[in-house]
Structure 1
Amino acid sequence: MNRYVKTALLAGAALSALSTAAMAQTSGVPASATPQVTTSLDDVVVTARRRDEQLKDVPISVTALGAERLEETGASDITALQQQTPNATVQVARGSNSTLISFIRGVGQQDPLWGFEPGVGLYIDDVYVARPQGAVLDIFDIQRIEVLRGPQGSLYGRNTVGGAIKYVTAHLSDEPELTLRGTYGSYNQMDLLATGSLPLGDTLRVGGAIASYNRDGFGSNLNTGAEAYNKDVLAGRLSVEFQPTDNSFFRLAYDRTEDNSNPRHGHREVAGTGVGAGVPTNVYDTYAGIGDKNSVITEGVSLTGEFHISDVLTFKSISAYRSGETDTVIDFDNTPAPTLDIPAIYGDHQFTQEFQLQFEDDRIQGVVGAYYLNAKASGAFDTILGNFGFVIGTGGFVETESFSLFSDVNADLTDRMHLSIGLRYTQDTKTGDVFRANYATATRSPLLGGTPRAPTLLRTDYTNTRDFTDLSPRFALSYDFSDRITGYASFSTGFKSGGFDMRGDAILTPDTVNGYNPETVDAYELGLKGSAFDRRLSFSSSVFYNKYQDQQVTTQVPAGAGIASFVDNVGSSTISGAEFEGSLRIVDSLTANFALGYLNAEFNEFQRYNLTTRTYENIASQVVLQNAPKYTGYFGLTWRGQMAGGDIAVTPSISYRDDYSMFEFPNPTLDQKAYSLVDLSVVWTAPNDKLTLGVYGKNLTDEVYRIGGYNFPGAAVFNNSVIGYYGPPRTVSAMLQVKF
């Protein structure tokens, strides 16, 4: 079936290319009493360059999904972006319900340990979220989500080598509003949401939202009886908006998420020996014995101020503080025995301050600014090795202080030709503290509240500080072929800061005390976007070529009675590809949305440390880039009409994801073959927009597919602990929403 799906997507792509070279995703339009023209790129406003612009005029590959489109497709959290965004991986991390793993164009980071930073930046209302814990944001009270593909170093700075995801919440209404929503679905899903706003005079508004997400597990822990893959999340947001004059605006916002879902212990893919070491029939079942307690709490507060100094100048300040705490367990062996059990605690906090001066004249527009970040990420975890009767305790912290200056200027060289120049200077100072030691008895170490005892072997104990600097330029030349078609050529760079390996073992890998260097991406891109056929067709396309250098790769391998962890700058790779996505109004009542991504990625150099010879070896021919499927695709049809006096929108869709590897080292047992997901949503809205009913079917063909894994195959040491984590099965839900 998947071969035919890919063929169909490619055929649609070729037909679209003949029309005007490519297609683009728009934010979608709500159903109305009279079917209307599909929103074109001329109408979609994004802030990809830190200022409001029409999507057509932005020389960056951007997917923008508005609230209406997200509702019509039944998107519940930001992992839904993966289906509708070409060349993107946006997934829940292995072992967790709310930790985010993101890759764009083969660039990202899947290791959620403290101190390691993502390669795709996440922003909530322009506030950078440094840690992946609690970053699987549920979709509520939202205006749109923007996905910026390719390195965004000049405007968004460090750790956006793959791109950036911007979660933009809705501003409060000038009128009193209250919206109540309830959803019930498969596996006893029960979601409740309340949002509202209240004006207090002409200049002050207060509002907020609270959401509860609950669902039984897709499977169960056959050892303890607890649910597996359940959901228990409480999230909320409060905001105050103050507009004392026509030229000033302030917004104070607070958000908090509590995730008390059970840990995802995973599914044993290979049988071991002993009780509970078989392969469960249900891929969501486990025999894990470490326990079923998991807690993730994240919260943040931000203050945004805007001052319109003149018709040309606007000053903006964004101050924010965010923190998070995680108490979790992962049973790597998935058996009742403590063969390879990992209890862990994480904690982080960050303060950020950004100043922007935006300017817009007849021939020149842009922004200059300064950014400051002060953050600390810390934690501890145990590696409990029951077969050897001891535990390896690991703990430490990474402190980061970062300062940058940036600018992005767009000049109209002629009425049709535009030059964009961006530049960012960044200086990072990082201090890493790493402690790692063996303790007798296979129970929790003193670091995790275990019996106080002295180490039997000190493996790592150091504190080190390093400075990193970077200059990230961006150049783009765009040309308006017509009032509706724009082409561009760009060169951009990005870097991810260096750091220290929190698992580093100074006995096995002495160089770990020196840390690792930054990684960089140089990206070349050609694009074409706009609308055609009397705006029936909106499109965006790009071809790109990336040089990925000094890649930071995390690998963990068995090393005697333990595990050796490496975070190395392994070398370089070349990534090229093409993307297009689009919206086509076939007739007034029928709209097609589709996207296609092609990715060709390979390592040029991969230096791997040999534990035996204690030298580095180039093994580029043996490795691949992880989370880099060759083809990704999406196709959906939305029919809008009238029923029972109201408006109805019916959206069947299919998404495709080609073969991909979970890690740099291919593994037939863990790597995921190509698969497709079929969804269907039906949304009815009353004439006065006060009542909405929705029915959503997800993964209707009940596709079984892996989204993550762990690989510790040693029979004697780890009892063949090869573990897979799976995406959701078929689900159906019904939603009722009432507005007052």
Structure 2
Amino acid sequence: MRLSSKIGRVLAAGASAMAFCAGGVAGAAEPDAPSPAQAGPGDTGVEVITVTARHRAEKLQEVPIAVTALTERDLAASGNSSIRQMQRQVPSLQILGFNPRNITIQIRGLGTTGGAANSGTEPGVGIYVDGVYHARPSVVVFDTFDVANVNVLRGPQGTLFGKNTVAGAIEITSQRASYEPELLGEVSYGNYDYGQIKLAASGPLGDSGFAVRVAGMKADRNGTVYNSVYRDDWQDHHNQAVRGELAYRNGDESFTARLNADYNDQNSYSAMPRRGVLPKLRADGSVATARGYYDRARDAGYVPPPIDAFARRIDVDTPFTINMQTGGASLTLVKKLPGDHSLTSITAWRFWDWNPSIDSDGTGAAINIQTNLPTAQRQWSQELRIASPGGGAVDYTAGLYYFWQRTREVPFNTYGRDAAKYLLGAAFPSEALNNFSQTGLQLFHTKSYSAFANATWHVDERLDLTGGIRYTYEKRSGRFESVAVGGVPLTDPVFSSLSPAQLTAIASRRNGFAPTARYDAATEGGRVSGTVNALYRLAPASTFMPVIRAASNRRGSTW
């Protein structure tokens, strides 16, 4: 169910047409393109889709980049509620991972897989929201709302964007503050008592040149998996977010400013049913393990439930929670220069807080009763970019970029009363591992400086040659500390009946779980990279008759 209301706007069938815009910023139809009223049923040709992947309004058919463009209408029509679900609409995009922290984004099978679990490594596919780079890929699991359009660019984009992205970029643009009053709302309902409400309001602040926009979203869904220990439904979903924008433009619109701020909160109980058990023998008949899953469960006195993923039942005995917040603020300034060049400055600060509680053994036995990795990430970025207006013999973009990131993690892992018998054997007392814990500190720092430029030479009506160059210099440093906490000393009388081999097995297991270590690492260096490509049209662009698909990016308004 959708409710959409616009105040102070008259929509007439004969109104001047708006081009269907699927780029980073909505743009108008090309000046020489026919309006929908002019394009009759007999007209044929290539649909005009305007994108701003290269920071200027261009026809998608003439941009020498592999781009998939989605508008808000496309996202709404497909029922997608997050970027993760967009992979169903975008060829070659894969978003993998079992929780919001361990996310891997790949385009054409390429991406920084290590970035899924290493908070010191950025993903190979960059995510930009309103021009701001998000270093942590967890943003893809948050519910999207008040989105104008999404561009997915395939291939390296380091000569167009501030951060060095080796596999591609996902560019998300929010709806802008409107200088006409607007009020929009949407209510959705689904199974498992899924409910979502979205609201947005926008309008000018008198004749001051300022406009404001406020949007919010709340989504809740009951769990889809029953936990027989807690007698509750898990795999629920609770997400709420708010976004605000203060915009300014001067009289001739030669200067514009956007101050954006957002906050997102997501939490749930998360665990999945077991789908199978690995055998003790490999396919070639060799021994994979002497003690399989059922042997270990028997030694611990644990009776596993039947393996039936479709029963949607689990017996996880430790809270398996997801608790995540992210947000930030950005200031975007755009100044028109002589010759219709534009100078853009984007200053941004962001944070990401991740505070989970995970039962890593995923069973009703008390083996790993606590697996936590609270993470606090902060980032600061500054981009300064100049872009030509387009349409000349040579179009170009050039910029400078600075990025700073700090991540602080405090791990905490604990063995439970069943750990010794499950992991070591029935002959070991529970005191061998019970309440033995590991904690520590993991720090990461990144400073990145870069300069980039990209230019396209329009040789003639058929041939375009594009080249780009980038220089990146980065400094990275990190610290790792790990210490053991708790547990019964091996000199305790409870272990007096054990053999030296058994005592060695306990010590080895403890050392592997909680090694006492500390080290610091640092590196820095710079590198030049570049790109070259050519676009050749089999027929001159002037021979195509464009057909304009006219649609509003706003819900409820269609010409």
Could you tell me the TM-score, scaled by structure 1's length?
0.57
Using the alignment, how far apart are the partners of 1:277 and 1:308 within structure 2? 67
**Correspondence for 1:230 among 229, 236, 255:** 236
Q: Does 1:362 align with 2:392?
A: yes
Q: Does 1:220 align with 2:226?
A: yes
**Correspondence for 2:152 among 147, 153, 156:** 147
Structure 1 position 394, deviation (Å): 4.3
Letter in 1 for 2:453: S
Q: Write the deviation string for residues 159-203 of structure 1: whole angstroms up to 9, x where unpaired.
A: 522211111112122211111111010110010110110211241
Structure 1 position 395, deviation (Å): 2.5
Report the 3-state secondary structure (helix = DSSP H, G, I; strand = E; otherwise coil) of the residue aligned with 1:133: helix
| Identical-pair percentage | 27
**Correspondence for 2:467 among 417, 421, 424:** 421
Using the alignment, how far apart are the partners of 2:102 and 2:79 within structure 1? 21
Letter in 1 for 2:315: Y
Using the alignment, how far apart are the partners of 1:435 and 1:478 within structure 2? 52
Preserved CA contact (<8 Å) 1:197 1:206? yes
Q: Does 1:302 align with 2:302?
A: no
Using the alignment, how far apart are the partners of 2:52 and 2:173 within structure 1? 9
Change (3 A) 1:312 1:134: closer
**Correspondence for 2:211 among 200, 205, 208:** 205
Structure 1 position 480, deviation (Å): 2.6
Matches within 5 A, 1:466-485: 466-484=523-541
Change (3 A) 1:131 1:41: farther
**Correspondence for 2:519 among 456, 459, 462:** 462
Preserved CA contact (<8 Å) 1:268 1:279? no
Using the alignment, how far apart are the partners of 1:331 and 1:279 within structure 2? 19
Structure 1 position 217, deviation (Å): 1.2
Structure 1 position 54, deviation (Å): 1.6
Structure 1 position 288, deviation (Å): 1.7
Q: Does 1:346 align with 2:403?
A: no
Letter in 1 for 2:455: V
Change (3 A) 1:233 1:455: same
Letter in 2 for 1:398: F
Q: Write the deviation string for residues 656-708 of structure 1: whole angstroms up to 9, x where unpaired.
A: xxxxxxxxxxxxxxxxxxxxxxxxxxxxx97x779xxxxxxxxxxxxxxxxxx
Matches within 5 A, 1:386-465: 386=416, 387-388=419-420, 389=433, 390-441=436-487, 458-465=515-522
Matches within 5 A, 1:369-388: 369-386=399-416, 387-388=419-420
Aligned to 2:355: 327
Preserved CA contact (<8 Å) 2:22 2:50? no
Aligned to 2:106: 103
Change (3 A) 1:308 1:59: same
Change (3 A) 1:368 1:173: same
Report the 3-state secondary structure (helix = DSSP H, G, I; strand = E; otherwise coil) of the residue aligned with 1:331: coil
Using the alignment, how far apart are the partners of 2:44 and 2:128 within structure 1? 25
Using the alignment, how far apart are the partners of 2:40 and 2:117 within structure 1? 45
Using the alignment, how far apart are the partners of 2:44 and 2:56 within structure 1? 20
Which protein has the bigger strand share?
1
Matches within 5 A, 1:498-647: none
Preserved CA contact (<8 Å) 1:228 1:285? no
Structure 1 position 436, deviation (Å): 2.1
Change (3 A) 1:225 1:319: same
Aligned to 2:305: 278
Preserved CA contact (<8 Å) 1:293 1:328? yes
Letter in 2 for 1:145: V
Preserved CA contact (<8 Å) 2:320 2:359? no
Aligned to 1:661: none
Report the 3-state secondary structure (helix = DSSP H, G, I; strand = E; otherwise coil) of the residue aligned with 1:482: coil
Aligned to 1:70: 75
Q: Write the deviation string for residues 104-133 of structure 1: whole angstroms up to 9, x where unpaired.
A: 111123624422321111110110000123
Preserved CA contact (<8 Å) 1:114 1:397? no
Aligned to 1:704: none
Letter in 1 for 2:191: S
Structure 1 position 336, deviation (Å): 2.8
Q: Does 1:252 align with 2:259?
A: yes
Preserved CA contact (<8 Å) 1:46 1:55? yes
Structure 1 position 382, deviation (Å): 2.9
Using the alignment, how far apart are the partners of 2:513 and 2:183 within structure 1? 61
Report the 3-state secondary structure (helix = DSSP H, G, I; strand = E; otherwise coil) of the residue aligned with 1:68: helix
Using the alignment, how far apart are the partners of 1:391 and 1:322 within structure 2? 32
What do you get for the CA RMSD once the two structures are aligned?
3.4
Using the alignment, how far apart are the partners of 2:558 and 2:169 within structure 1? 33
Q: Write the deviation string for residues 384-420 of structure 1: whole angstroms up to 9, x where unpaired.
A: 3442413333431100010000101111222332211
Change (3 A) 1:233 1:457: closer
Q: Write the deviation string for residues 14-65 of structure 1: whole angstroms up to 9, x where unpaired.
A: xxxxxxxxxxx9959xxx9999899986522222223322211211111001
Using the alignment, how far apart are the partners of 1:411 and 1:401 within structure 2? 34
Structure 1 position 351, deviation (Å): 0.4
Letter in 2 for 1:406: F
Using the alignment, how far apart are the partners of 1:482 and 1:439 within structure 2? 72
Using the alignment, how far apart are the partners of 2:199 and 2:523 within structure 1? 47
Using the alignment, how far apart are the partners of 1:53 and 1:456 within structure 2? 55
Using the alignment, how far apart are the partners of 2:44 and 2:371 within structure 1? 49
Change (3 A) 1:71 1:458: closer
- Mind listing any 5+ residue stretches in structure 1 that lack a counterpart? 1-24, 443-453, 486-530, 539-584, 586-639, 641-684, 691-740
Aligned to 1:670: none
Report the 3-state secondary structure (helix = DSSP H, G, I; strand = E; otherwise coil) of the residue aligned with 1:72: helix
Preserved CA contact (<8 Å) 2:269 2:319? no
Structure 1 position 269, deviation (Å): 3.0
Q: Write the deviation string for residues 129-161 of structure 1: whole angstroms up to 9, x where unpaired.
A: 001234424222111111111222222355522
Preserved CA contact (<8 Å) 1:112 1:132? no
Preserved CA contact (<8 Å) 1:42 1:55? no
Preserved CA contact (<8 Å) 1:115 1:378? no
Using the alignment, how far apart are the partners of 2:42 and 2:364 within structure 1? 59
Using the alignment, how far apart are the partners of 1:51 and 1:264 within structure 2? 45
Preserved CA contact (<8 Å) 1:26 1:39? no
**Correspondence for 1:94 among 85, 88, 98:** 98
Preserved CA contact (<8 Å) 1:134 1:297? no
Change (3 A) 1:326 1:35: farther
Q: 205-214 or 285-294, which moves further after superposition?
A: 285-294
Preserved CA contact (<8 Å) 2:47 2:546? no
Using the alignment, how far apart are the partners of 1:146 and 1:82 within structure 2? 12
Tell me the matched-pair count: 460
Change (3 A) 1:689 1:415: closer
Letter in 1 for 2:341: L
Using the alignment, how far apart are the partners of 1:377 and 1:400 within structure 2? 9
Structure 1 position 250, deviation (Å): 0.2
Using the alignment, how far apart are the partners of 2:192 and 2:454 within structure 1? 49
Change (3 A) 1:480 1:467: same
Using the alignment, how far apart are the partners of 1:38 and 1:298 within structure 2? 48
Preserved CA contact (<8 Å) 1:420 1:476? yes
